[in-house]
C-alpha cells in the first residue's frame, strides 16, 4: 500500500498505533512496526526522560523498522518536563513524533529543525488547520467514537474525516472507531491516507496489559462505553465499569461535581493498576466504541496483514458496483 503517509513515515502499510498511556511500550510498538505499521511509544508512560531513552533503546533492540514517540501536552499547573522528553527523542534519533493535546507549536518547531516528521492528533478541523499552519506533516483527526478525549464538538468520523481531507493540504490519518479492514477501506474511501488505532491494538497478544482486560474488550459491545468529564468540558470516553458509572452519576447530580471530588476515582495510578492487574473495576479503562468490532486477540502481524488483505477485497467489491 502506498500513500503519502507511508512515504513520509517509511512504513509498508498506512496503519499507526495510537500512543496510549501505560500501553505504548516497546513490546507493542516493536510488534506493530515489525508487521509493517508504525508503532508508537508513549513518552509520559515513562517516569522520566532518562527512562524514555531506555525504552527507545529497548524498542530499537526489538525492531529495525521505523517507530515513533507520542508526546501529549496536558493542561497542568505542574507540567512534565516536555522539552527534556523531546530532547531525548531528538538525541535518540527517533524520526517520528506524534503530538496531541494543547498547542505544541514551540516543540513542533524544535522537532522539525531536527528533521523529525511530526504527526499531530486533534479532534476538530479548526485545530487541524492551526496545526497545518504550524508546520506539522500529518494530521490525525479523531472522531467522536474514539477512546480518550474526543473534544466537545461530538462530530463522528464519517463527517469529520472528509471535512478534514477537504480543508487540509497535508495528509490526513483517520482515527476513532477503526478496528478492522472495513474501517480501513472506509477511511481510504473518505480521502484519508492512513488510519490510527488504539483500542484495537489493546486486544493483541503483544499489548502489555492483563489478559482479563483483553478478554473484556472482546466481550464488550459498542454500547459499553461511558462519557466522563462532560460537565468539565474535558470529555473522555472509557469502558463502562463501576468506577466510570459512579463518575457519570456524580456528574449528573443537581449542582454538578467538583473535579476534586472525583479525582480519587479517576487517578492514572488506578487506571494503570486496572490494566496491569486485570481488575476491571479498579479504575478507568480508556476504550472507544470500536470495542463492538473486536472479536479476537491476534498478534499484531496477523491483525495488520488481515486488515490489508481484506481491505483490498472490500475496495474491489465496491469497485464492481460500477462494472
What confidence score (pLDDT) does residue 106 get?
Answer: 87
- The per-residue pLDDT for 75 is 76
Q: Give the model confidence (pLDDT) of 140-196 as tens digits.
A: 999 999 999 999 999 999 999 999 999 999 999 999 999 999 999 999 999 999 999
Q: Please, which residues bridge with residue 197 across strands? A: 17
Q: Residue 78 has what pLDDT?
A: 87
> What is the pLDDT, as a whole number, of residue 101?
87
Which tens digit of pLDDT belongs to each residue from 88-134?
A: 999 999 999 999 988 778 899 999 999 999 999 999 999 999 999 99
d(C-alpha 38, C-alpha 4), whole Å? 14
Q: What would the mean pLDDT of 240-268 be, rounded to a whole number?
A: 96
pLDDT at 208: 98
CB 213, CB 275: distance < 8 Å: yes
Classify strands 225-228 and 236-239 as parallel, antiparallel or unpaired. antiparallel
Question: DSSP string spanning 187-209?
Answer: HHHTT-S-EEESHHHHTSTTSSS
- What is the C-alpha end-to-end distance of the chain, expressed in Å? 24
**Is pLDDT larger for residue 175 or for residue 77?**
175
SS3 145: coil
Domains of the chain, each with CATH number or no CATH: 4-206 (3.20.20.70), 211-289 (no CATH)
Torsion sign over Cα 81, 86, 89, 92: negative
Grid cell for residue 21: 498511556
Instruction: Say yes or no to pLDDT of 31 above 90.
Output: yes
DSSP string, 154-177: ---HHHHHHHHHHH-SS-EEEESS
Contact 191, 161 (CB under 8 A): yes
Nearest to 141 by CA among 168, 104, 111: 168
What whole-number distance in Å separates Cα of residue 116 and Cα of residue 283?
Answer: 35
Cell numbers that stand for 129 in this block: 488547520
**pLDDT tens-digit profile of 44-69?**
999 999 999 999 999 999 999 999 99
Amino acid at each position: 500500500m502506498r500513500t503519502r503517509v507511508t512515504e513520509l513515515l517509511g512504513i509498508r502499510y498506512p496503519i499507526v498505533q495510537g500512543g496510549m498511556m501505560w500501553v505504548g511500550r516497546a513490546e507493542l510498538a516493536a510488534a506493530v512496526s515489525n508487521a509493517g505499521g508504525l508503532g508508537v511509544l508513549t513518552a509520559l508512560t515513562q517516569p522520566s526522560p532518562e527512562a524514555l531513552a531506555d525504552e527507545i533503546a529497548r524498542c530499537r533492540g526489538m525492531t529495525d523498522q521505523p517507530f515513533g514517540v507520542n508526546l501529549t501536552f496536558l493542561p497542568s499547573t505542574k507540567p512534565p518536563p516536555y522539552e527534556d522528553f523531546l530532547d531525548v527523542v531528538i538525541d535518540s534519533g527517533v524520526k517520528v513524533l506524534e503530538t496531541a493535546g494543547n498547542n505544541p507549536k514551540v516543540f513542533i518547531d524544535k522537532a522539525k529543525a531536527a528533521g523529525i516528521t511530526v504527526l499531530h492528533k486533534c479532534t476538530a478541523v479548526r485545530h487541524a488547520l492551526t496545526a497545518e499552519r504550524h508546520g506539522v506533516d500529518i494530521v490525525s483527526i479523531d472522531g467522536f467514537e474514539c477512546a480518550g478525549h474526543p473534544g466537545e464538538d461530538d462530530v463522528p468520523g464519517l463527517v469529520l474525516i472528509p471535512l478534514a481531507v477537504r480543508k487540509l493540504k497535508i495528509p490526513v490519518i483517520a482515527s476513532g472507531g477503526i478496528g478492522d479492514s472495513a474501517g480501513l477501506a472506509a477511511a481510504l474511501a473518505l480521502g484519508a491516507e492512513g488510519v490510527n488505532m488504539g483500542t484495537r491494538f489493546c486486544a493483541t497478544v503483544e499489548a502489555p496489559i492483563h489478559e482479563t482486560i483483553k478478554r473484556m474488550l472482546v466481550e464488550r459491545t459498542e454500547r459499553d462505553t461511558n462519557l466522563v468529564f462532560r460537565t468539565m468540558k474535558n470529555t473522555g470516553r472509557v469502558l463502562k465499569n463501576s468506577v466510570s458509572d459512579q463518575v457519570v452519576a456524580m456528574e449528573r447530580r443537581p449542582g454538578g461535581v467538583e473535579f476534586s471530588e472525583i479525582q480519587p476515582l479517576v487517578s492514572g495510578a488506578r487506571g494503570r493498576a486496572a490494566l496491569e492487574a486485570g481488575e476491571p473495576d479498579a479504575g478507568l479503562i480508556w476504550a472507544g466504541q470500536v470495542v463492538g468490532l473486536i472479536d479476537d486477540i491476534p498478534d499484531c502481524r496477523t491483525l495488520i496483514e488481515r486488515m490489508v488483505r481484506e481491505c483490498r477485497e472490500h475496495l474491489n467489491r465496491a469497485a464492481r458496483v460500477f462494472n
